[in-house]
Structure 1
Amino acid sequence: MGSGEWGWIVPDGLWEVVEPLLPAARVRQQGGGTANLDDRAVFAAVVYVLTTGCAWRHLPPCFGVSKSTVHRRFTIWTKDGLWGRLRRVMLERLADAEVLDLSRVVVDSVHVRAKKGGEHTGPSPIDRGKPGSKVHVLSDCNGLPLVIGISSADTHDQHGLTPLVEALPAKHDPERAPHLLPRKLHADKAYDNSELRTWLRRRGILPRIARKGVESSQTLGRHRWVIERTMSWLTGYRRIARRYERDHRHYLAFCDLAAVITCHKRLAKTTT
């Protein structure tokens, strides 16, 4: 299988980032067995599921791998932590290319219906109490997704902020630290909490959170609109717009993969 056969769905630049991070193939102690199928074909099939939202059993035969093989490899990669590593490496590349703008970061969340329930699901307050999840996103000034988290649909937005900020990748290189430490954080009135403001200031981040009954929604809207676009980018991947995975780790894996692809598209535009 040629190296560029899946370039239409997994560009060469993205594959160069992914391939070194893949876990080594399992070796049977008793010997025998068959060699792993082409990793790039399997990865392309996972991206296809993410993009189209199709069920694993509906994967087209053009990838040359069975649906059970793709799902099994996806599960192995998820347990190995591939998607989190991939997201962190992509952010490092964005920082190296001076594409990230952390003069301010923006936080928000979106509800998604959880078709099959599972961990981190709950009655949605905006969907007549049907089971759902909430996707929390922290983006840079231009809307590039930095960190994604999930919770049950009835979780208050305030509880999603601190895990996102704490999950921001940090380097101990003093020359890089200023590029990875946000200066300001913008959020709407759902995050209006004095303890959150104090916590952010202690971390050297200036909170710009709308105050209930004081500031109108339009006051900070000129900075917050980018997160709405980010949500549109992410939910454009149909496997994210609805949650079909009972295992929350699998759903979060798709969210991380969507963020990686979004960031790679911006990086590719910058470097060409």
Structure 2
Amino acid sequence: MARPILDDNLWALIEPLLPPPKPRRSRHPGRKPLDNRAVLTGPVYPPDWSAMGPATQRDGLWQRYGCWRRLRDWQAAGVWDELHEMLLARLRAADQIDWSRVIVDSSSIRAKGAGQKRDLILQTARDPVQSATSITEAQGVPLAVILTGANRHDVTQLHALVDAIPQIGGKPGRPLSKPKIVQGDRGYDHNKYCRPLHAAGIATEIARGGQPHGSGLGKTRWVVERTISWLHNFRRLRIRFERLAFIHEAFLKLACCIICWRQL
């Protein structure tokens, strides 16, 4: 088993959410599968892998033991969505969720070898690009992340991001789901995408395009940029080497869960 870098308390939350393993055949069962905790620790916490050779060899070793399939099954089962919702509820119970506003922003990263959700405009470029659009609450706790090609404008994901916010319980009464105010930079200044939010009773505070700087939104909007930097601190999210989009999406969602856990 790999070094137990995963916090014991965090693993106690993750383990019950994992789907049960497939039953092994009585005859010729094959290689015994790796422990789930070792499978999860390997790709998420690779600081000690420097002695194991180049990154391609390390990823090949991980793939050899079926860890990609395990991560695929966990992503399909919604494990990370459930974990994220659970951690958000705990944060709310600890009064660490500021629901006065939510903030949106996006970041672009290189997508080497990516075959899905990469930039369709720059297919001939040496390094294709993808975009991850994030939405956080007023203190920077990540609420949702959407992965798209970098040829998609930021504002096109505005309504989808708000819809992706999970139901946040943790306290008696109705769970939180609809924010009061959505803040964003000039990239989100488009009436076509803001009107549906207004119709749903959600106000928007967007820096106006074509106007000089000094809107004052930077005093409260900076937290989403800090959260994006937190996400980029996970080495697997700085450059996308995974060809399958669901693998990178799984890492994005798991990173959001770890950030929430650290806030606790």
TM-score if structure 1 supplies the norm length?
A: 0.83
Kindly tell me: are residues 264 and 174 of structure 1, through their superposed partners in 2, closer, same or farther at Cα, counting changes over 3 Å?
closer
1:214 aligns with 2:211: yes
How far apart are the structure 2 equivalents of 1:215 and 1:198? 24
Structure 1: 5+ residue runs without aligned partners?
Answer: 268-272
SS at match of 2:19: coil
State the match for 1:270 in structure 2. none
* 8 Å CA contact 2:109, 2:130 repeated in 1: yes
1:175 is aligned, of 152, 173, 176, to: 173
How far apart are the structure 1 equivalents of 2:7 and 2:183? 33
Kindly tell me: are residues 220 and 81 of structure 1, through their superposed partners in 2, closer, same or farther at Cα, counting changes over 3 Å?
same
How far apart are the structure 1 equivalents of 2:195 and 2:47? 38
Taking the TM superposition and a 5 Å limit, the aligned residue runs for 1:248-267 are: 248-267=245-264
1:241 aligns with 2:247: no
1:22 aligns with 2:18: yes
State the match for 1:57 in structure 2. 57
Amino acid at match of 2:57: R
How far apart are the structure 2 equivalents of 1:138 and 1:22? 26
Kindly tell me: are residues 190 and 52 of structure 1, through their superposed partners in 2, closer, same or farther at Cα, counting changes over 3 Å?
farther
How far apart are the structure 2 equivalents of 1:246 and 1:108? 24
Amino acid at match of 1:46: P
> Identity of aligned pairs, percent?
34
* 8 Å CA contact 2:92, 2:168 repeated in 1: no
Map Cα deviations across residues 87-142 of structure 1 (whole Å, 9 max, x no partner).
222222222222111211100000011100311111578xx784110000001111
State the match for 1:204 in structure 2. 201
Taking the TM superposition and a 5 Å limit, the aligned residue runs for 1:94-133 are: 94-122=91-119, 130-133=127-130
* 8 Å CA contact 2:112, 2:127 repeated in 1: no
Count of aligned pairs between the two proteins? 257
Task: Give 1:218 deviation, angstroms.
Answer: 4.8
How far apart are the structure 2 equivalents of 1:52 and 1:218? 46
How far apart are the structure 1 equivalents of 2:48 and 2:143? 20
Q: Over the residues paired in the alignment, what is the CA RMSD in angstroms?
A: 3.0
1:90 is aligned, of 84, 87, 96, to: 87
Task: Give 1:174 deviation, angstroms.
Answer: 8.0
SS at match of 2:45: helix
Map Cα deviations across residues 138-170 of structure 1 (whole Å, 9 max, x no partner).
011111111000110111001111111111112
Task: Give 1:205 deviation, angstroms.
Answer: 1.5
State the match for 1:185 in structure 2. 182
Kindly tell me: are residues 67 and 57 of structure 1, through their superposed partners in 2, closer, same or farther at Cα, counting changes over 3 Å?
farther
SS at match of 1:122: coil
Name which of structure 1's ranges 257-266 and 41-50 shifts more when overlaid on structure 2: 41-50
